Amino acid sequence: MLRGSILQTLVDACQERTNQTPFNYGVYYKNTLVSLCHALEDSILMNDCQPIIMTAFQRGKWYLQEADRYAEIARKSQHITILATPDAGFAEHPTGQLENISLISLLPEDPVAQEWHLVILSPTYTAMVMCQELSEEDYGPSGIPEVDIERKFYGFWTFESDLVLKTAQLMLDCCEKNSPGMGPKLQPQIDAIAKALDQHDTTEQLSETVNRVVTYLKDRQDTLPNASPMGQSQNALDRNLSANELQAFLRMAQAIDLSDTANPMAASEVASLCEALGQLLDLPAWQLKRLRLAGMLHRIDYLPGTGKSLNVIARDVSGPSCPLPAGAQALRMMPKLRAIAQIVNHQTEAWDGSGQPAGLAADAIPLESRILGLIAAFQQYATQGAHASAPTQAGERPASPMMTEALARCQAESGTLWDPKLVESLGLLVLGLQQGLNLSSSHFKVSAGLWSIDDSFDVSKSPEYASGSSRP
């Protein structure tokens, strides 16, 4: 990272972060960042959130490509601050003359002139992209790409409100250094938003935003030509777009956990426990990988403000089978996540056929869904028990008595809600945990390179899953 850059300053300022999600760095092609930023910006156009936007464009010519679009965004915003080197008519465009837009000129040698940032801060919606372009040395022997969309940037993006707020303050400091007077002008507005954030649930808008991100990235994939002089680099562009589609869902799951103060480790703990139970059942590696990802995404249909997970919500519904929930529908937008969508969707089936959404019973319920449903309930029971007695610290596994009580609840529901064989296996897993078996349950990472999505995630490539007939 460039010393003196906003990204480096943010990393230094957050070195003492404890019990919080880690920075999940990735390398992003410009092609990907354009679609990602447009999706996040369009969430402003589609909603009345009146944000403060702070963005770094590197150079004035890149700003000019977006200037007309930013005039439209300005009508929905309290204030927009744009940092860039003042070339190519940076200050002359009519957008720059709007009262609620401030143009901050950067010197070419300023490290911020190598950065691509988008910070959106409002009481109901927070998001940001923080990246800086790779240096010529970083590109290696191949050198700087000749094709603009192949340019690469290093950084991360997130919906985490506390982090967005901290970054906004750092960017305001940068603006004040380059344009004295900006700090006093914007600080009251940022303070007002910070106060309002304590009283609002910013996950309300997430589902819509994530769907938009995935759609925009998918549309960008569709525009890549089938045959291209870029050769292998075209495949890299496609993979980068796919990886960020998955990142969008994982970041939504991350934000859902952060919003649930009673159970902030649900996704990572369920993912680890599912994988451990799968190993105990001697499932193949491809199935373990699907189980872990399904565990991370198992609350994709969580309803903000209800305090309920998908498990509880679905069993509150009576009557015939219901349509595919919005979260599972969104996952199905990616063909290679259709198996994950089915696992998540059917986690609320019951062994005796009384569950939702399809009323499947016994072996007709896909094995991975049976595992996910049982583990999600067990984790929730254990966490509820821990809070009822002596609450654990974030990231600390519930105490042994709580696991025993949670297991007892699952055993009482064996044969009605849960597969009896799986409950027996869960008992062995709990025994191992009580005797010192250690599972990694730290906040999960969502970096672009973590998940290699291959055909094992495609339900159509897994007949044994589609049949739902495999038994532990």
| pLDDT tens for each residue of 414-424 | 999 999 999 99
| pLDDT average, residue stretch 415-437 | 93
Q: Is the pLDDT of residue 307 over 80?
A: no
Distance CA 417, CA 411 (A): 10
Q: Is the pLDDT of residue 266 over 50?
A: yes
DSSP assignments along 385-416, one per residue: HHHHSSPPPTTPPPPHHHHHHHHHHHHHTBTT
Q: How does pLDDT run across 99-124, given as a tens digit for each residue?
A: 999 999 999 999 999 999 999 999 88
Three-state SS for 209?
helix
Q: Is the pLDDT of residue 327 over 70?
A: no
Report the pLDDT value the prediction gives residue 315, as an integer from 0 to 100.
37
Q: Is the pLDDT of residue 130 over 80?
A: yes
Q: 293 to each of 94, 103, 340, 349, 460, how far by Cα in Å?
A: 47, 43, 7, 19, 18
Average pLDDT, the chain: 81
Q: How does pLDDT run across 195-229, given as a tens digit for each residue?
A: 998 887 777 777 788 888 888 888 887 776 654 44
Helix (H) / strand (E) element for 276: namely: helix 266-280
| pLDDT average, residue stretch 328-343 | 78
Q: Is the pLDDT of residue 444 over 60?
A: no
Q: Is the pLDDT of residue 17 over 70?
A: no
Most confident stretch, 136-145, 280-289, 338-347 = 280-289
SS (H, E, C) 58-105: EEHHHHHHHHHHHHHHHCCCCEEEEEEECCCCCCCCHHHHCCCEEEEE
Q: Helix, strand, coil % (nearest 5) of the chain?
A: 55, 10, 35
For the chain, give every domain's residue range.
6-253, 262-467
Report the pLDDT value the prediction gives residue 368, as an integer from 0 to 100.
96
**CATH superfamily of domain region 262-467:** Hypothetical protein af1432 (1.10.3210.10)
| pLDDT average, residue stretch 300-313 | 44
Within 13 Å, how many C-alpha atoms sit on residue 150's CB side? 16
* Fold agreement between 6-253 and 262-467: no
Distance CA 391, CA 134 (A): 44
Q: Is the pLDDT of residue 382 over 70?
A: yes
Per-residue confidence band for 190, with pLDDT thresholds at 50, 70 and 90: very high
Lowest mean pLDDT among 3-12, 132-141, 178-187, 242-251: 242-251
Q: Which fold has domain 6-253?
A: Endonuclease; Chain A (3.30.870)
